A = this chain, B = another copy of it.
Amino acid sequence: MSDPLKIAVAGLGTVGAGTVKLLEQQADLLSLRAGRPLQVTAVSARSRGRDRGVELSSFAWHDDAAAMAREADADVVVELIGGSDGAARAVCEAAFAAGRHVVTANKALLAMHGAALARAAEAAGVTLAWEAAVAGGIPVIRTLREGLAGNRIGRLQGILNGTCNYILTTMRETGREFGDVLDEAQHLGYAEADPGFDIDGVDAAHKLALLSALAFGAEVDFDGVYVEGIRNIAAMDIEYAGELGYRIKLLGIAEMNHDGIHQRVHPAMVPADAPIAAVEGVFNGIVTEGDYVGTTVLEGRGAGAGPTASAVAGDLVDIACGRRAPTFGVPATALKAIPSLPMDRHVGPYYVRLMVIDKPGVFADVAATLRDCEISFESVLQRSRAPGDVVPVVLTTHEASEASMQRAIAEIERIEAVREKPNMIRIERGAME
């Protein structure tokens, strides 16, 4: 039996404790698959006393995670602290400086400093592995980096945030409103007390920026991602989506074309029979389009201790076996600075819900505005009649540019009978470019 791979774990929250537990419970299996034992030697967390449901007494304890990364008897440091700077970043930098591999689940850190960290890892001749950072247990990183290495990826789209998908799925299944379902999700532990990071799309955007870098061989450009969350989705919109043959999902979409990369996170209506529409509840799903392989769909649990620990363990087995790959699939020096395209370059069909006073002539004003902005509509729905009261009117458009659409919406909002800000949701039919 070869020497064990010695592992230092920084951060003992749910995922850290889950990882330690997996490494202990699956020791025999991992040793067989890796050809050598995987052995935790050191751990670090803020509070030593807390009961985490795993036995830690045989590991060296460090109060300072960066010091552990530098000094512990370890070949690899597992960074599960989280956060885009501070302790997490210090741990990675210390590990690289000491010539140690890093396995991380930290999407925020990589979205902000991915290129710099990839260069640091390469300079040190070590691996920076991050399967756990995107879509939890779904092996999407190795799929893009290795399994589909023979393909040019033209487009990918994903449901990358389980909290949002749980909320949207529950709204559809129960007909309840966003705020009500969010409260419940917080109660069940599916949403944080401060939910903005998830429901405003930031977490999905971190992950999209990383997938995009990997798929297109580009430097991570989180600032280039257009981001819009799900707070504006009403129960009514979900009901109309169903009537129109769609489901509403928070999608992350990345497309490469001659001018650059278009990266966007926003609620989207997808055909109810598309594979991505079937990804429900806390599950994540990613659809990729490769020029040889065609469409590939991956689906699974995107968060939680078990799935995340599973992804960390996969990376550790790779390192133990000596299977190495560049952080973003190609050498860090070869990553291209590809421009990110602005959202107003987007072209597609749209859903718009207006709340209007039910009186003759209102729709003529809306139709005239659309015509002036060169947008043609595909369908108009006004289900309820209530003369003099406010009623919803829903329209879907043919392909239109985002710039025209935004102009039209601003104009429509000025129509006197339109009583709320129009709610616009992009329709994604998912065709290859």
Residues of B within 8 A of A329 (CB): 33
**Interface flags, A290-324, vs B, CB<8A=1, else 0:** 11111111111100001101111110111001111
Question: Considering only CB atoms, which chain B residue lies closest to A307 in the complex?
Answer: B293
Query: Are A321 and B321 within 8 A (Cβ)?
Result: no
| Interface residue A139 (Cβ < 8 Å from any Cβ of B) | yes
Report whether A152 and B292 are in contact in the complex, using a CB–CB cutoff of 8 Å: no
Q: How far is the CA of A288 from the CA of B358 in the complex (A)?
A: 53
Question: Using a CB–CB distance below 8 Å, which chain A residues touch chain B?
Answer: 18, 22, 26, 29-30, 32-35, 131, 136-139, 142-143, 145-152, 217, 273, 275, 278, 290-301, 306-307, 309-314, 316-318, 321-325, 329-331, 334
Tell me if B321 and A293 are in contact (CB < 8 A). Answer: no
A151 to B139, CA, bound (A): 13
Q: How far is the CA of A217 from the CA of B309 in the complex (A)?
A: 21
A-B contacts, 18 of them at CB < 8 A, read A22-B150, A22-B292, A32-B217, A32-B330, A136-B293, A137-B148, A139-B147, A146-B318, A146-B323, A147-B311, A148-B314, A149-B317, A293-B310, A294-B301, A295-B300, A297-B300, A321-B325, A323-B323
Q: In the complex the two chains form, is B292's CB within 8 Å of A307's CB?
A: yes
Docked CA distance A299–B298 (Å)? 6
Residues of B contacting A217 with CB < 8 Å? 32
- Which 8 residue pairs spanning A and B have beta carbons closest together? A150-B313, A139-B147, A137-B293, A293-B310, A297-B299, A296-B300, A292-B310, A149-B317
**Known A-B contacts A151-B310, A152-B29, A290-B310; A317 and B139 likewise in contact (beta carbons under 8 Å):** no
Contact residue among B35, B131, B298 (Cβ-Cβ distance under 8 Å from A331): B35
Chain B residues in 8 Å Cβ range of A307: 292-294
Measured between C-beta atoms, what is the minimum distance from A240 to chain B in Å? Answer: 22
Query: Do A150 and B292 touch across chains, with their CB atoms under 8 A apart?
Result: no
Contact A137 B298 (CB under 8 A): no
User: Do B150 and A317 touch across chains, with their CB atoms under 8 A apart?
Assistant: yes
B residues less than 8 Å from A26 (CB atoms): 150-152, 292
Residue of B nearest to A38 (CB): B150
Bound CA–CA A278/B18 (angstroms): 32
- Not counting A143-B147, A275-B278, a sample of 8 additional A-B residue pairs whose C-beta atoms are within 8 angstroms of each other reads A22-B292, A34-B149, A137-B292, A142-B142, A150-B311, A151-B313, A293-B301, A295-B300
This chain's copy number in the assembly:
2
Complex Cα distance A329/B29, Å?
Answer: 11
Which among A145, A293, A306 has the greatest number of chain B C-beta atoms within 10 A?
A293
A304 to B246, CA, bound (A): 31
Cβ contact of A139, chosen from B136, B148, B331, cutoff 8 A: B148
Cβ-defined partner of A314 (8 Å) among B22, B150, B311, B313? B150
> CB-nearest residue of chain B relative to A273?
B278
**A179 CA to B353 CA in the complex, in Å?**
49
Most B CB atoms within 10 A — which of A145, A273, A297, A312?
Answer: A297
Contact of A295 among B33, B147, B301 (CB under 8 A): B301
Q: Which of B35, B296, B309, B312 sits near A137, CB closer than 8 Å?
A: B296
A314 touches B147 (CB 8 A): yes
Q: Which residue of chain B lies nearest to A143 when distances are taken between CB atoms in the complex?
A: B139
Report the minimal beta-carbon distance from A105 to chain B, rounded to whole angstroms.
13
- Contacts A30-B150, A152-B29; is A300 near B293 (CB within 8 Å)? yes
Could you tell me if B149 and A142 are in contact, using CB atoms closer than 8 angstroms?
no
Q: Which residues of B contact A317 (CB under 8 A)?
A: 146, 149-150
Give, as a whole number of angstroms, the nearest-CB distance from A21 to chain B: 9
Give A105 to B329 CA distance when docked, in angstroms: 24
Residue in chain B with minimal CB distance to A217: B32
Q: How many angstroms from the CA of A306 to the CA of B290 in the assembled complex?
A: 10
Q: Report the minimal beta-carbon distance from A132 to chain B, rounded to whole angstroms.
A: 11
Residue of A32, A142, A149, A306 most packed against chain B (CB within 10 A): A149
| Shortest CB distance A306–B (Å) | 4
Residues of B near A32 (CB, < 8 A) are 217, 330-331, 334
A138 surroundings in chain B (CB, below 8 A): 296
Contacts A32-B217, A278-B275, A324-B321 given: A148-B310 contact, CB under 8 Å?
Answer: yes
